[in-house]
Amino acid sequence: MKWTPKGRSRNVEDRRGERPPRRGFPFPMGGGGLGGGRGRAPKISLSGILLMLGLMWLLGINPLQLLGGLAGGGAPPGLPPSVQVESSRQRSELPPVASSPKEDEMIQFVSFVLDDAQQVWSQKLSNYPEAKLVVFRGVTETGCGFGQAAMGPFYCPRDQKVYIDLAFYDELRRRFGAPGDMAQAYVLAHEIGHHVQRVMGTEQQVRDAQRRDPRNQNEYSIRLELQADCYAGVWAHSTSQRDLLEAGDVEEAMRAAAAVGDDQIQKMSTGHVAPEQWTHGSSEMRMQWFERGFRSGNPRDCDSFGS
């Protein structure tokens, strides 16, 4: 991909020097994610669960609401004000970030992709509010609860931020077999696609539908993810029109889309495929919807719910 380093985007929030949170729990949350989170959550004993639930009540977090979010009914509530104030204080006291030349270049790359993608969407949508990109290491706080690097990149609709641990790109290359800068760009463009869904009201409509029809909540989730893949293709179409793509770039993005298909991830982790457990779609489905957006360049052709 032809890209020009332009420094760090004003929409990038660097939390790589952040201390691990002293309060809260790194549970998964509602919102959009690429899929392909690293590994499984560690096993927790019954006594540990009871201790966590008790501390949650003390922090003002309703465990029942959190469990509702984990079941696909939307994001759990944000952090109580006391924790938010403490978090802001900690963030204002961050030590200098220890960064390598490789990470510095990656920050500039994600800045370029973020700004370019959002410029494209600001031209397609009136009054488009720009999303923020949070770069972190390990674990961080979000408007949807605590996020972990093991979850992979994700978007939180409550604070309109995309979260990524840059180490995921090494995973994408080594574990998923999808190297290349366009593969990395696809990851970010997919998450910005979730922001577009939030802006257009699609994300909220899907969460409402999942609450009304919990038996089909995975089907709604799959269609939401496929639309985000299509939106990533819409952005890629724009880069092609501006002669930013190089030979093999489209193939890199397609390999990345295939690598994070539910069937591929299930084969890697369990050795068998269980379609009833899918939440993002198969490799073939994800490639098809990315290609659909790439060939059209029109967001109206990304109606994964009506097809």
Q: Is there a domain that residue 156 lies in?
A: yes
Tell me the pLDDT tens digit for each residue of 82-109: 344 444 444 545 566 778 889 999 999 9
Domain count, the chain: 1
Q: Is there a domain that residue 2 lies in?
A: no
Are 140 and 147 in contact by the 8 Å Cβ rule? The answer is yes
pLDDT of 8 > 70? The answer is yes
The pLDDT value given to residue 72: 30
Q: Is there a domain that residue 4 lies in?
A: no
Q: Is there a domain that residue 174 lies in?
A: yes
Q: Is there a domain that residue 87 lies in?
A: yes
pLDDT band at 40 (very low <50, low <70, confident <90, very high): very low
Tell me the pLDDT tens digit for each residue of 266-288: 999 999 999 999 999 999 999 99
Q: Per-residue DSSP letters for 203-269?
A: HHHHHHHHHH-GGGHHHHHHHHHHHHHHHHHHHHHHHHHTT---TTHHHHHHHHHHHT-HHHHHHHH
pLDDT of 81 > 70? The answer is no
pLDDT of 195 > 60? The answer is yes
Give the domain range for residue 223: 12-302
Q: Is there a domain that residue 6 lies in?
A: no
